[in-house]
Structure formats: C-alpha cells, structure tokens
Structure 1
C-alpha cells in the first residue's frame, strides 16, 4: 500500500543578524521604516509539510507519492527527494512561479522578521488527485497537509469520493480557514493530526466542542511535545504514548512531520495505533537531533534501540520485521 501526501513544498531561507533589531529602530520614525541588516549566516533548508512527511516515509522504506506544486527551481530538491525514495512524478511544476519560500531573519535576542512567499503553491488546486491515484496505483491512504486551502478542500473531496482513507493535518492553515472549510476538512478523516495549540484552534475555527470533533473523525492524535502524543476516539478512553527522549535537541523544526511519517508508515505495515505512535515518536527523536526538517538520517538499528529502550523489546521486535529495508 502506498501513501499519497498532498500539501506544501517549500524552501526555508534562515538568516542570523548578530545585533538587535531594536537598536536600529527610531521611536518617532516607525511610520517610515527603511532598514537593511547585514547578516552573518544563511542556511537554506528543504521544507514544506508534505515534502517533510514524504521524506520521512521514504526513509522508512515506503514509496510515498508527493502531491504538490513547485517551481522551475525544484530540480535539485526533486533529485534529493527521489534519492530518499519519494515519488515526485506527480509534482506540478509552475511555468510562472517559483517554489514557496519561507524567509526569516533572527537577531541575537531571538526576535524574528519573517515573510512567506506561497509561489507555486497557489496552483496546487489544479492537481487532480483522481489522476494521481489512477496513474500511481495502489494508493491506500491520502494525507491532506497544509497547502493552498482550495487544494486542501478539493483533495479531501476526491479522497472521500474514491473511498480512500485520509488523514487530515490542517495545522498551519487553520487560521486561514472559515468555519465551514475547517469542518469540511476534518469530517470523515480516519486520522486527525494536531498539536496542543492547534487542537484548541480547531475547536475555535469549527465552532465544535471536543466531543463533536471526535464524533466525526476516526482517531484524533495530538502531539504533546516532550510529553509524547495523545490518541482519542469517540466512545474510548484517551491514551497517551510517552515521547522518545532525544540525545540532544538541535532544532525542533519538523519534529511533528517526522512523527506523522513514522506513524503512517507503521499504519501502512498493518500495525495498530500503539506501535504506530511509538514508531512515530522514535522518528521524531531523530528529527530533533538534526538541523532542518529533513536533516536527519535513518538507521534501523538506532530506531529499534530507541523503541526498545522507551517501550520494551516486544515493541522493538514488532517494528524490526518492517525495517529491513531501512538503510544504515
């Protein structure tokens, strides 16, 4: 069974300013700001939620299908994803726009000035998920992650009409959705992913109570940071899976996407919720130790050791049968 991941593809440009922004602001001239900052460091990282999830799935021996829009500058990024085992044949390439970009300048006090260029992502709604499924074959799950809102709605509708189980992961786009859109995206989802803040925002956006959301979804997974993940389903008692402690934290960016990749890979293996959440937490711990959402590498021995140390050898043995293809 293959997983199609629909959502954003982006490049992050992260810069560091060694001074303080506030030292360059003149209090009585804030209505006419014109500033330029000389930066010491620039890091260009690959990102986008869909690409991050697909990267994780590819590293776990899956052959995920990436469904999104990028620009003509996507060539190098495409090669990198293909090397990770991601099928990029269905990425729409814009003839007019470049790949989405997140540009962020951080000063020494961790204050940030940022901008986001949606670019080619604006064309994602033109992608026909039905054609992707027909041509790719054996698609058993569709992930609807943050994207152009029209694309999110269209691909959700198409997954429903084809009878393919889908995961709803609206996350960063929740703030842009109106009530009906938010309700539409989560209704009927086999899995719903949020973090704690997004869980509260989802209730505000939909106007639904916690129980109302549970009644229209399968399993609601809420990532809890260093506390792990909570899993809830209507009529069942909520249960939590503790996190796998990382050896160190280099960058929290993309840890949630890494969890989703591990969880969904385990689901595609036919495993249950508990083991799937444990695999997800183990992959997230790898992500935390690397710079960038796609900076971590996969090693079956390391993953299995962490699963065993955190959850016991029975969980490690269950996961081991599926990780033979994960390269060291």
Structure 2
C-alpha cells in the first residue's frame, strides 16, 4: 500500500557567498539595511518536504504518494518524478502561481540568509486525503496552514495513521490548533527547539503530549541522536556517524522517510527510528536534499553494523 506525504514540492536555490556577511553589514546601519552579495556559485535543487520524503521512501522501495500544490514552472520537477517512478496522482497544478521556492545564501561561516516564496503551496488545501483504502500511512509535513489543518482532520476521519511533523510551519499555529493537530496524529516528530516551542504554546508537559498520541513522540537532537518516547517508556536512538559532512539540507526529511518506512511495515518503533537515523547520516554525506542513492544490500549491512542487530524485513 501507499504512504501519503502531505507537504511541499519546491525548488531550492542555493547560493554561496565566498566571504562573510558580518564584513558587509554595519551594525549601526541595520535600520536602513541595503546590501548586495555577489554569489558566483549557485545550485538549483529539487526539494520541498513532500518531495524529499517521497524520494527517500522510493529509494527504500516503498510506494510514496506526494500530495502537494505546484505552479506553472513545475515541468522539470514533474519529469524527474516520472523518471523516478513517483506518482503525481495527488500533485495539484495551479498555473496562476509559481512552484514554492527557497532562496538560500550561505557565507564562509555557514551563516544563512533565506527567503521562501510559498507560491502554489498555499493552494494544497484543495487536495483531499483519499478514503479508498489505498493509503496505509501518512505524514503532515510543512505546508500551507489550511492544508495542514484540513489534512489532519481528513486523516483522522479516514482512520489513516499518520505523523504530524510541523517543522518550520510551527509558528503559524496557536496552542489550541496544535493541541488538535497532535490529538489527531499517531506520532509527533520535532527537533528539540520545535518541542520547546510546542511546550510554550500549549503549556504541555511531555506526559500530557503523549497522552494524546496513539504512537509516541520523537525529538531529534542533531548529531546527538534522537529520543523516542511512548507510553511504555523512552529509548535513545544514536546518531550514525556520517562518512563525511557535505550538506545538512534534507537530513530531517531523510530521517522521516526511514521512520515512515518502518512504521508502515509494522516494525518496532525503535527499529524504525534507527533506520531514520541511518538515512539522515547517508543524506548528510551528499549534496542536495535528493542527491543520495541507496543500495539496499549495503543499507542492510550498515544497519547491522551500526546497531548490532539485523534490520527487520
């Protein structure tokens, strides 16, 4: 069966400024800031949370269904999805908008200035979660606000287990909205900063958050690994040491692809989170969110080496 990934399909425009922002920004002039950075190096990558998670699932051999709204400039991305064999059955085309785009400029100190244009993404509420029994699992990743609210209710009404992964969309929601989104979900996945934001907005303790989740809570801590919490207790998921650090963009999406793959197959959640950790490590060793490829035999062998047990079938 399929895994429905509600979120964005986007182009990531990555520019490298071969100097330091701080050398060109005068602290006493920030009230009238007017700067230009020459960026001789630029890359345009296929991205967006729905696209990145779908790519990871496709590499693992799953059947991903990205659900996203895209614009008039989507043709090249559509060709790539066709080449990968990823269905576009739930990709809504709106030619009155551009596809979502991120413009990220990085300096020599790895500081970043990012501008994000949502474009057609804000139309994704026009997509509806299918109820024909073809979808086994789902995830709500960063998207237009109304789409995230609607798809959450639709997953619950259809009885489809799903992950709520608010990510950078978290600031859009108030405490009551977050309580409802978490109550509808089976799993909540956040990084440590996002978890603190949820606590501040909802007033919850971890126990109170877990009480509303059928599965559990995963809090990631970057290179320090992640923590999996359920009603039965806690488990520490170690970070897998990468072969090299090339590009962190999309590591969280790769983690979620591994997690979804395991949960859809009925694995113990610890094993699913371990696969997520391994996927994140593989991704960070490659440039671009979808710049890695998997050999499943190598993946299985590495899983056993890293975690001391065989990867479930």
- The TM-score with structure 1 as length reference comes to 0.89
| Residues 239, 112 of structure 1: alpha-carbon distance in 2 compared, 3 angstrom cutoff | closer
Contact conserved, 2:153 with 2:184, CA < 8 A, in 1? no
Deviations 1:98-127 (A, max 9, x none): 111111222333333321101011111111
Structure 1, gaps ≥5 residues long: 320-328
Distance 1:241 1:25 in 2: 41
Aligned residues: CA RMSD: 1.8
Map of 2:71 onto structure 1: 71
8 Å CA contact 1:58–1:86 kept in 2: the answer is yes
1:62 is the counterpart of 2:59: no
CA contact (8 A) 1:5 1:50 kept: yes
Most deviating of 162-171 and 33-42: 33-42
1:263: which partner in 2? 259
The alignment partner of 1:230 has SS state of strand
Between the aligned partners of 1:282 and 1:247, the Cα distance in structure 2 is: 11
> For residues 29 and 145 of structure 2, what CA distance do their matches in structure 1 show?
38
Name the CA shift for 1:208/1:128 in 2 (closer, same or farther; >3 Å).
Answer: same
Rounded to whole Å, the distance in 2 between the matches of 1:25 and 1:284 is 34
Q: Deviations over 1:261-311 (max 9, x none)?
A: 111112222222122122222211110111121111111122112101111
Q: CA deviation at 1:244?
A: 2.0
Single out whichever of 159-168 and 74-83 deviates more from structure 2: 74-83
How far has the Cα of 1:30 moved from its partner? 4.4
Matched, 1:229 2:226: yes
Q: Which residue of 2 aligns with 1:315?
A: 310
The correspondence of residues 199-238 of structure 1 with structure 2, limited to 5 A, is 199-217=195-213, 218-234=215-231, 236-238=232-234
Other-structure match for 2:44: 44
Aligned: 1:247 with 2:243: yes
Task: State the secondary structure of the residue aligned to 1:200.
Answer: helix
The count of corresponding residues between Structure 1 and Structure 2 is: 312
CA distances 1:11-52 after superposition (whole Å, capped 9, x unpaired): 111111223334444566544443332211001111111111
Aligned CA distance change for structure 1 residues 97 and 109 (closer, same or farther; 3 Å): same
> Which SS does the other structure have where 2:218 is aligned?
strand
- Report the CA distance shift for 1:34/1:90 in structure 2 as closer, same or farther (over 3 A): same
Does structure 1 retain, via aligned residues, the 8 Å contact 2:12–2:47? yes
